[in-house]
Amino acid sequence: MSSDPIDDPQTAAIEQLEQFGLSAYAARTFVALEKLGTGTAIQVSSIADVPRTRVYDAVAELGDRGLVDVQHTVPKEFWAISAESTGRKFEREMAHRTATLTAALGDLEPVESRDEQRGVWTVDGRPAITDRVVEFLETAEDEIVYMSVEELLTGEVVDSLHAAADRGVEIKLAGLSPTVQARLQERIPEAELFDSLWLWSDTPAGRLLMVDGTETLVSVLIDDEQSSDSQQETAIWGAGETNSLVVVLKAIFTWRLGATGEEDC
Amino acid sequence: MSSDPIDDPQTAAIEQLEQFGLSAYAARTFVALEKLGTGTAIQVSSIADVPRTRVYDAVAELGDRGLVDVQHTVPKEFWAISAESTGRKFEREMAHRTATLTAALGDLEPVESRDEQRGVWTVDGRPAITDRVVEFLETAEDEIVYMSVEELLTGEVVDSLHAAADRGVEIKLAGLSPTVQARLQERIPEAELFDSLWLWSDTPAGRLLMVDGTETLVSVLIDDEQSSDSQQETAIWGAGETNSLVVVLKAIFTWRLGATGEEDC
DNA sequence: ACAGGATTCACTCGGTTAATCACAAAATCA
DNA sequence: TGATTTTGTGATTAACCGAGTGAATCCTGT
């Protein structure tokens, strides 16, 4: 009995194989064979919890994918390719799939011209928001204004800031805590720091970004009603000179940045 | 109307997205948004052939994956990330998945020791067979004997042969046609050529491989009964000093190789 | 030929997803 | 303000695929 199903390698492997499109039986059969090296239907069935009579279907599926070979004796014996080969095989398959997808998406002819962005868009979830932030940072040409709490300063964001600094983009940073300030200063010495202008101290702070005065993003952390210990991040963003969110944030930033140090309100 | 559904970029993109685990509706919705840039439920529904009332679910699914943002106006408006971002996103996700899988497979503790291979295994399908051949070539330490028809000399095989030659493995090659011989000689000058000993001229020839005198593989091309124009490749292989297939082939090879030039039979 | 096991095949059941419909909320227009 | 259209959400039905089970067939060794 594998006691704790969480992060048990067997469970993890089966899960990934299913994600790659294998049936449940095939995935479990493959993992069993991986442990056995070689085995018969009965052996597989006993340790993989797959009905004996269906091991054959599963092996056929695995054979089509080039993951398992068969010995046509009685009883049949099955052999799985090595763990390293499996990894390489899937890596190549996935590379091929992503290439196909990218090519196909690139070949789609647009129905109409992609006009200027209007309105304010919302994104939910930390990974998606980080994606959007990084994307904005990568398109920056002149100026980046960025403010963030520590926990949201992931590596990719810092890397993007660094890359922007290297190509001559003016960077103005603010953190909500001295810790964050220090870390930013250390990683990106080119950046100009300014005092945090986050005035709503009881608001669960998130991030605040403006790029080239034309693209802005604001996020906040909200307590998740389901799991009380975790926080959910939600963000809004807008793009374009005349975008309402952009206009508002640009006004705020130029006002605060112009009057650095004056802390009245 | 997209007339020919074969290799139509739209169809291809939808197919790949479904392979990556998106529902049919989500995949079609995303492709539609990719063409539109931004759009409402009705616009998506009209060009994506998705029921209007289901576009919202599809978008929610896409939003969870970070592929689409929403504008909470009336009517709602949807925005899809760029084709390039999509490609990068999936590339990273797949890299993560393969890494997880490789780690999990490596952490599987074997049930019993992987004993010496016995018996003869069969592999079906050209890609799987090529995989096996390359794997054997990569483990070669002393000597490779390889014979193949031209159509099976894919790039990866030649590359593996080249790599083996570079690390000092003695390579003995034979092709079934002078063309193949010439190509091999050109690509891998270190290799020693010998006359083909494929005597069964009416047999649909495939390949024949022996590595270090301990691993052997033989394949033949058989006409496919379904599609008469294509050929199916099927192979058998064995490993280990005492393996019957290995013993037989080793005997043949040493006999023929020892008596090069004598063409009686 | 027979017994035991191995393998294949046919079928049922359950869950998921596609697809349709009904309805409530909101907005536009008269 | 009231009627009509449009938008969004939820419930319901239908079709499909995969898991699981059991019976029928085949093979092997005695």
> Where do the domains of chain A lie?
9-104, 121-258
For residue A116, give the DSSP letter: -
Q: Chain B window 146-185: which residues touch A at a Cβ cutoff of 8 Å?
A: none
The residue among A117 and A209 whose pLDDT is bigger is: A209
Q: How confident is the model at residue B114 (pLDDT cuts 50, 70, 90)?
A: low
Interface residue A35 vs chain B (CB under 8 A):
yes
Distance A24 CA to C12 C1' (A): 19
At B256 the pLDDT is 60
The residue among A187 and B237 whose pLDDT is bigger is: B237
At A254 the pLDDT is 75
At B123 the pLDDT is 95
Six token digits for residue A115 = 């006009």
Distance B74 CA to C14 C1' (A): 39
| Rounded distance between C-alpha atoms, residue A166 and residue A191, angstroms | 11
At B163 the pLDDT is 94
Six token digits for residue B29 = 């919705």
Q: Chain A window 192-251: which residues touch B at a Cβ cutoff of 8 Å?
A: 237
Q: Using one digit for the tens of pLDDT, what is the confidence trace for B9-68? A: 999 999 999 999 999 999 999 999 999 989 999 999 999 999 999 999 999 999 999 999
The CATH class, in words, for A9-104 is mainly alpha
User: Is the distance from CB of B110 to CB of A37 less than 8 angstroms?
Assistant: yes
Q: For domain B9-105, give its CATH number from 3.40.50.300, 1.10.260.40, 2.30.30.30, 1.10.10.10.
A: 1.10.10.10
- Using a 10 angstrom Cβ sphere, with 0-12 exposed, 13-18 middle and 19 or more buried, the burial of residue A5 is exposed
| Rounded distance between C-alpha atoms, residue B62 and residue B149, angstroms | 48
Total residues belonging to chain A = 265
At A262 the pLDDT is 44
* Å between B201 CA and nearest CA of chain A: 27
At B84 the pLDDT is 93
E strands in chain A: 38-40, 68-71, 77-80, 121-124, 143-148, 170-175, 192-193, 207-211, 215-223, 231-239
For residue A82, is pLDDT > 80?
yes
Q: Tell me which residue has tokens 């994606």.
A: A131
Distance A54 CA to D20 C1' (A): 9
Look at B59-73, B125-139, B223-237, B247-261 and tell me which has the smallest mean pLDDT. Answer: B247-261
Q: Do A36 and B87 touch (CB under 8 A)?
A: no
Look at A40-54, B151-165, B241-255 and tell me which has the smallest mean pLDDT. Answer: B241-255
Closest residue by C-alpha to C1' distance, nucleotide D9: B53
| Rounded distance between C-alpha atoms, residue A174 and residue A239, angstroms | 22
* Å between B265 CA and nearest CA of chain A: 32
Give whichever of A31-35, A194-198, B174-178, B190-194 has the largest mean pLDDT.
A31-35
Distance B75 CA to D3 C1' (A): 21
Nucleotides of D under 7 A from a protein CB: 6-11, 18-23, 27-28
For residue B150, give the DSSP letter: G
For residue A41, is pLDDT > 60?
yes
Q: What stretches of chain B show up as alpha helix (H) in DSSP?
A: 9-19, 24-36, 41-48, 52-64, 83-106, 126-139, 155-166, 178-187, 244-258
Mean pLDDT of chain A: 85
User: In degrees, to the nearest 5, what angle opens at C-alpha B231 toward C-alphas B226 and B236?
Assistant: 110
B87 touches strand C (CB under 7 A): no
B24 touches strand C (CB under 7 A): yes
At B113 the pLDDT is 53
At A3 the pLDDT is 42
Q: Do B21 and A19 touch (CB under 8 A)?
A: yes
For residue B177, is pLDDT > 90?
no
- The closest CB to that of B105, out of A13, A107, A124, belongs to A13
- The closest CB to that of A108, out of B10, B84, B103, belongs to B10
Distance A38 CA to D30 C1' (A): 29
Interface residue A260 vs chain B (CB under 8 A):
no
- The closest CB to that of B69, out of A72, A122, A127, belongs to A122
For residue A5, is pLDDT > 60?
no
What number of C-beta contacts closer than 8 Å exist between A and B?
190
Q: Rounded mean pLDDT of A241-256?
A: 82
Q: Do A106 and B122 touch (CB under 8 A)?
A: no
The residue among B9 and A253 whose pLDDT is bigger is: B9
Q: Using one digit for the tens of pLDDT, what is the confidence trace for B205-248? A: 788 899 999 999 999 888 765 555 678 899 999 998 888 889 88
| Rounded distance between C-alpha atoms, residue A70 and residue A99, angstroms | 32
For residue B262, is pLDDT > 60?
no
Q: How many CB atoms lie within 10 A of CB A16?
A: 23
For residue A35, is pLDDT > 70?
yes
* Å between B263 CA and nearest CA of chain A: 35
- The closest CB to that of B108, out of A10, A112, A132, belongs to A10
Output the CA–CA distances (angstroms, integers) from residue B130 to A89, A211, B60, B217, in the order listed.
12, 51, 42, 11
The residue among A210 and A260 whose pLDDT is bigger is: A210
At A214 the pLDDT is 93
Q: How confident is the model at residue A199 (pLDDT cuts 50, 70, 90)?
A: low
- In CATH, the number for domain B121-258 is 3.30.870.10
Q: Rounded mean pLDDT of B88-103?
A: 95
Six token digits for residue B78 = 């949807």
Q: Is the dihedral of CA A177, A180, A186, A189 positive or negative?
A: negative
Q: Do A102 and B86 touch (CB under 8 A)?
A: yes
